[in-house]
Amino acid sequence: MSSSVFYCYCHGGTDGIDSEYDGVADTCAAIKRTPSRANISSTYSSRKRRRVSVASLDLGRDLATPLTPETPIEETNADRFVTVRMSTSLPLNMTPRTNRIAKAFGLVDDRVLSPTDSPSPSSIPSLRSLLRRSASGLFSTSRTASLLSAKANLGTRKHFVMALDGPGISTDLFASPMAWSHANCIGVAFKYDVYFQNLESRAIVHLCRSSLSDGMVHSIDWGGETKPHRLALGTKAGVVRVMDSEKRMQTVEWVNDGHGMGGMHWNGDVLAVGRAGGNVTLFDVRMRAEITKIVGHKRRVHGVKWSTDGRHLATGDDGGIVHVWDHRACDLLTNDDKHVRMKHKGPVKALSWSPWQHDLLATGGGSPDGEIHIWNTRKTAPSSEPMHTISLQTAITSLHWSPHCKELLSTHGSSWTVPQSNVHSASQVSALSTENSLVVHSYPSCEQIVNVKGHSAPVGHSCISPDGCSIFTVSPVEETIKMFRVWSAPDGKGKNEGGDMTLKSTIR
């Protein structure tokens, strides 16, 4: 098209045409003109000439002009998935020929690409919302609770599977009067006596009785997986004994060192014992005396817990101080130039190390703290803060990580938040809902996924089963011990355990 326009404009005019038709030979011989395509201009109709002249726009000059910043950019409300032609688009529908080409390629089909700059306000937004809803429905998948999670176990059956009467159990909420062995025996201390029940045979055995001079039994703990029949007990006067539940006899006794009793926990043959004076004493069953003493606390040590790999020992005292002791280095990791890194605003008894991440520690504070702190002990610094904080405004008496999924269970005592009116704040509602309850939190979101009211009075202590699926809780005021199925094992072990233990019995 452009070549025909070029030859049309280069023609000499009417004078050249007349001289050619007059037949002047010498002029033709001297010039020897090249025949022009304009010679066949008679074949072009007037309509064709008009079309060529219209199409001879100087597109190069128009398109070469840059857009200045003052040039407004048109914005439309059309859907982003359908292109809209701007005002600077090429005039593709200027001639019948370009119309035919555009229609052949579907560029001017009203059904495909002929959007308008002023869409109807009712149809386009509704269509857009429908498209977005349908797209979101494709990407959103309905999440179902894992069969291992507490939501699929305790959340569906919010009731205990076993109940035991516990008259005479210690009313001290900082005592640890109950433990669950790897031989599936539940041991409980009642004042001066220690009993245990085999949950498979249902046999109840009276293990031992402490003297009046030794005081009532304050804490007990079973040996680990390698020594499931070994039980340690400590009295309020500070006497520590180790008993063999199979032979029903005492194997070793460590004399009173003049300090009262706190918490205790086994690590192989080594037993860590918290004292009322603030020290933590380490005993070895193969020796008749203590092997070392950890100095760092100034008040009674309520919580004592070894990590799952046995490399670190966490301790919490009545003043809210938490220390972590490195067994290999025989030194504290949390005390740098008398600056304690891990603190609560209330007494700390609840401690739990993660079984699937050895440096993850959960600590819980009593009144007036009511918070769960989750620490990474590898990243503690003099000014470090906990990785996560869960505020519950209720005394936290024990903590347990699930070995099968990333969930944390906490047991609670009474709440100190007393509502003054019928209109409760958010913190008051949260405190009242967790009072005397078992609460399961997901990790790392720390969301509350299950909340079960376990007792009508504060939960003083709890222990986890050897398969990591069930929890025994004790309420000293209610004088009741209850077993709850919280999680499930991946391989289904112990799935039917406790299924027929819905009867109510007494442990002594």
The CATH number given to whatever domain includes residue 415 is 2.130.10.10
Average pLDDT, the chain: 78
The one-letter amino acid at 404: H
Choose the weakest-confidence range: 138-152, 207-221, 330-344.
138-152
Tell whether the model's pLDDT for residue 325 goes beyond 80: yes
Of 354 and 28, the one with more pLDDT: 354
Query: How would residue 415 be classed by pLDDT, with cut points 50, 70 and 90?
Result: confident
Q: Is residue 483 situated within a structural domain?
A: yes
| Domain-located, residue 237 | yes
Range of the domain at 308: 162-506
Residue 421 has pLDDT above 50, yes or no: no
Give the β-pairing of 312-317 and 301-306.
antiparallel
Distances (CA, A) of 122 to 68, 131, 192, 399: 35, 15, 81, 57
How many angstroms separate the Cα of 176 from the Cα of each of 166, 183, 266, 402, 485? 14, 19, 14, 20, 21
- Tell me: the pLDDT tens digits for 140-198? 655 666 899 999 999 999 999 999 998 889 999 899 999 999 999 999 999 999 999 99
- Determine, yes or no, domain membership for 33: no
- Checking if the pLDDT of 109 tops 80, the result is no
Closest C-alpha among 41, 55, 43 to residue 99: 55
**Pairwise CA distance, residues 186 & 199, whole Å:** 7
pLDDT at 507 over 80: no
73 lies in some domain: no
Q: Which amino acid is at 329?
A: A
pTM over 0.75: no
Residue 432: what pLDDT? 54
CA distance 376 to 334: 12
Kind plus residue range of the DSSP H or E element containing 340: strand 339-340
Inter-residue contact 468 to 180 (CB < 8 Å): no
Strand order in the sheet with 504-506: 461-464, 470-475, 480-485, 162-165, 504-506
Give pLDDT, residue 29. 42
Question: Between the CA atoms of 294, 298, 302 and 304, what dihedral angle is there, to the nearest 10 degrees?
Answer: -20
Cβ-based neighbours of 392, under 8 Å, separated by 6 or more: 370, 371, 372, 410, 412, 430, 431, 434, 439
Checking if the pLDDT of 315 tops 90, the result is yes
Note the residue count of the chain.
508
C-alpha pair distances (Å), 21 with each of 39, 92, 331: 12, 41, 119
The reported pLDDT for the residue numbered 62 is 47
Residue 307 has pLDDT above 60, yes or no: yes
Tokens standing for 247? 């032979």
Whether 470 shows a pLDDT value over 80: the answer reads yes
Is 20 contained in some domain?
no
Alpha carbon 180 to its chain centroid, in Å, reads 29
How far is it, in rounded angstroms, from Cα 97 to Cα 48? 11
- At 131 the pLDDT is 75
What pLDDT is recorded for position 97?
Answer: 78
What's the structural domain count of the chain?
1
Q: Of the ranges 204-208, 276-280, 300-304, which one carries the lowest mean pLDDT score?
A: 276-280
| Contact between 231 and 242 (Cβ < 8 Å) | yes
Q: Is residue 64 part of a domain?
A: no
Q: Is residue 484 part of a domain?
A: yes
Provide the residue type at 297 as one letter. H
Residue 344 has pLDDT above 60, yes or no: yes
Write down the pLDDT at residue 498. Answer: 42
Contact call for residues 487 and 150 (beta carbons, < 8 A): yes
Regarding beta strands 290-294 and 301-306, do their DSSP bridges make them parallel or antiparallel, or are they unpaired?
A: unpaired
The average pLDDT across 289-296 equals 91
Query: In the predicted model, is pLDDT for residue 260 greater than 90?
Result: no
Question: 392 or 112, which is more confident?
Answer: 392
Q: Percentage of residues in the chain with pLDDT exceeding 70?
A: 67
Per the model's pLDDT, the better-predicted residue between 137 and 278 turns out to be: 278
- Give the residue-averaged pLDDT of 426-438: 70
Query: Would you place residue 103 in the very low, low, confident or very high pLDDT band (cuts 50, 70, 90)?
Result: confident
Torsion angle, alpha carbons of 244, 246, 248, 254, to 10:
0
Please write the tens of the pLDDT for every residue from 362-408. 999 999 999 999 999 987 665 578 999 999 999 999 999 999 999 99
Q: How much of the chain, in percent, has pLDDT values that exceed 90? A: 54
Angstrom CA distances, 396 to 364, 376, 439, stand at 5, 20, 10
For residue 21, the Cα-to-chain-centroid distance in whole angstroms is 97
* Average pLDDT for 278-291: 91
The C-alpha atoms of residue 193 and residue 318 are separated, in whole angstroms, by: 26
Burial (CB count within 10 angstroms: exposed 0-12, middle 13-18, buried 19+), residue 211: exposed
pLDDT surpasses 70 at 456: yes
* CA-to-CA separations, 308 to 7, 250, 361, 483, in angstroms, rounded: 94, 27, 11, 24
Each residue's pLDDT tens digit, 51-92: 444 444 444 444 444 444 444 444 445 555 555 555 444 554
Question: What three-state secondary structure class fits 272?
Answer: strand
CA angle at 488 for the pair 485 and 394, rounded to the nearest 5°: 50
Run of H or E residues at 14: helix 14-22
Per-residue pLDDT at 207: 97
- What string of DSSP letters covers 153-196? TTTT--S-SEEEE-TTB---TT-B-EEE-TTSEEEEEETTEEEE
In a domain, 53, yes or no: no
| pLDDT exceeds 80 at position 508 | no
Q: Do 185 and 198 touch, CB atoms closer than 8 A?
A: yes
